[in-house]
Amino acid sequence: MNRINRLFRQKEKNILSIYFTAGYPGLNDTMEIITCLDKAGVDMIEIGMPFSDPVADGPVIQGSSEKALKNGMTLSLLFNQLKEVRKRTDIPLLLMGYFNPIFKYGVEKVLETCNKTGIDGTIIPDLPVEEYTDQYEKLFTANGIINTFLITPQSSETRIRYLDSISKGFLYVVSTSATTGIKKSFESSHLEYFSKLNEMGLRSPRLTGFGISGKGTFDQACLYSEGAIIGSAFVRVLEDKGSLHENIRKFINTFR
């Protein structure tokens, strides 16, 4: 069973998924960050593939992507860094990023390498769903890789139900139409959107992302979904002075 599916079978609430950009803050920090997150008790990790034009990301993740590229991070190097990751952790791992680097590397080659490495899934916000189903779904299935679909406040009920019907893992609930970033709390319009999703009786589990920055927004998100994804707030922590391990441990403990 794919580790993503196993996680949602074993844990129904308060799932904590963490995003970070590979190659940031240091080129060779990827494995250490994954190891620290695992020891700190996160449930899932999203490894960001840095890209030169991250249009859906806020300034924090954009900055981390820019620095990672300057450090020399590439998809090929990332796979090399991750080749023994399954000796370190057994929690679900996903690659998250834009389609351009995947297309250039070769979609089939990426998926085969993910399978060999032990990567469980992908989140590719700019890959059109129709293109995925028409051209790539069979490749994902053949390699046991789950592609995660995003739903937004602008998604129609018909569209949401369609994505739910073809999802093989979880749905990524984008809390806002803005770029990624940090919020102190969700507004009533966000909560109405979350409530609407609950009332739809969707079959796929959901994780809420965009704007989850502290215990308050994490707990709010978990009231309406199986868990939440934290990105920008965590990426900021990686630049803090002191021990990387200790900084990560303290940050994760605030959500537990």
Helices (H), 155-210: 157-166, 188-199
Token pair of 7, please?
A: 């996680």
Q: Is 57 a catalytic residue?
A: yes
Q: How many angstroms separate the CA atoms of 71 and 213, rounded?
A: 26
Pairing relation of β-strands 93-96 and 146-151? Answer: unpaired
Q: Of 203, 204, 197, which Cα lies nearest the Cα of 223?
A: 197
The catalytic position among 12, 29, 38, 46 is 46
Q: Is 53 a catalytic residue?
A: no
The catalytic position among 43, 57, 120, 164 is 57
Contact 63, 23 (CB under 8 A): no
Residue 158: φ, ψ to 5°: -60, -45
Give catalytic residue positions: 46, 57
